Amino acid sequence: MRAGSNMTLAAIRERCAALYHELATEYYRAGAGLQEGLNSAAILDRYADLAALPQLRLVEAAWQSAGNDLERRRLGLLREHLAWLYDAHAGRELNDRLHHLEATATVSIDGAPVPYRSLQGMLVNEASRARRLQLAELRAGALEQFVPTHLEWFAEVQRISGELGYDDHIARCADLGDLPLASLRPLCVELLERTAGPYEAALGTLLAAAGIPRDEAHSSDLAHLFRVTAYDAQFPAEALVPRVSAMVAALGLDARAEGRITFDLEDRPLKSPRPYCSVIAAPEEVVLVLRPVGGLSDYASFLHELGHALHFGYCDPQAPWEFRHLGDNAITESYAFLFDRLTVNPHWLHRVAGLADPLPLARLLVLREAMMLRKYAAQLLFELDLWTTSDPLPARAEWAQRLAAAVGVQQVAAGWLAGIDPMFYCARYLQGWLFEALLGQQLAAANGPEWFVQPATGQTLRQLFARGQDQPLRALFAELGEPGLTIEPILARFDREMATCWPTP
Ligand SMILES: [Zn+2]
Residue 165 CA to ligand 1 center (angstroms) comes to 30
Q: Can you give the residue range of the structural domain that contains 268? A: 202-501
Residue 276 CA to ligand 1 center (angstroms) comes to 8
Do residues 484 and 359 share a domain? Answer: yes
Residue 308 CA to ligand 1 center (angstroms) comes to 7
Q: Radius of gyration of the chain from Cα atoms?
A: 23
Residue 307 CA to ligand 1 center (angstroms) comes to 8
Give, for 453, the enclosing helix (H) or strand (E).
none
Q: Are residues 493 and 433 in contact, defined by beta-carbon separation less than 8 angstroms?
A: no
CA end-to-end span of the chain: 71
Residue 304 CA to ligand 1 center (angstroms) comes to 6
Give, for 111, the enclosing helix (H) or strand (E).
none
Residue 128 CA to ligand 1 center (angstroms) comes to 32
Residue 156 maps to a domain: no
pLDDT of 4: 47
Q: Nearest Cα to 157, choosing from 428, 427, 424, 422?
A: 422
Domain end position, chosen among 64, 90, 116 = 90
Residue 113 maps to a domain: no
Do residues 223 and 85 share a domain? Answer: no
| CB-neighbour burial class of residue 17 (10 A; exposed 0-12, middle 13-18, buried 19+) | middle
251 CB contacts (<8 Å, ≥6 apart)? 452, 453, 454, 455, 457, 458, 461
On the CB side of 35, CA atoms within 13 Å amount to 10
Domain end position, chosen among 71, 90, 109 = 90
Do residues 86 and 206 share a domain? Answer: no
Residue 138 maps to a domain: no
Residue 429 CA to ligand 1 center (angstroms) comes to 8
Distance CA 278, CA 34 (A): 14
Residue 166 maps to a domain: no
CATH code of the domain in which 320 resides: 1.10.1370.30
Residue 297 CA to ligand 1 center (angstroms) comes to 14
- Give Cα separations from 292 to 234, 265, 268, 285 (angstroms): 14, 7, 12, 21
Do residues 211 and 85 share a domain? Answer: no
pLDDT of 330: 97
Q: How many domains does the chain have?
A: 2
Mark the residues whose beta carbon lies below 5 A from ion ligand 1: 336
Domain end position, chosen among 90, 108, 141 = 90
3-state secondary structure of 267: coil
Do residues 355 and 224 share a domain? Answer: yes
Residue 482 maps to a domain: yes
Do residues 344 and 473 share a domain? Answer: yes
Q: Are residues 75 and 62 in contact, defined by beta-carbon separation less than 8 angstroms?
A: yes
Residue 334 CA to ligand 1 center (angstroms) comes to 8
pLDDT of 471: 94
Residue 238 CA to ligand 1 center (angstroms) comes to 23
Residue 336 CA to ligand 1 center (angstroms) comes to 6
Whether pTM exceeds 0.85: yes
pLDDT of 333: 98
pLDDT of 269: 79
Residue 41 maps to a domain: yes
Q: Which residues of the chain have pLDDT under 70?
A: 1-5
Residue 109 CA to ligand 1 center (angstroms) comes to 33
Do residues 78 and 210 share a domain? Answer: no
For residue range 206-227, list pLDDT tens digits in order. Answer: 999 999 999 999 999 998 888 8
Distance CA 399, CA 212 (A): 23
pLDDT of 224: 87
Residue 430 CA to ligand 1 center (angstroms) comes to 11
341 CB contacts (<8 Å, ≥6 apart)? 369, 436, 440
pLDDT of 5: 52
Residue 108 CA to ligand 1 center (angstroms) comes to 33
Residue 253 CA to ligand 1 center (angstroms) comes to 20
pLDDT of 2: 39
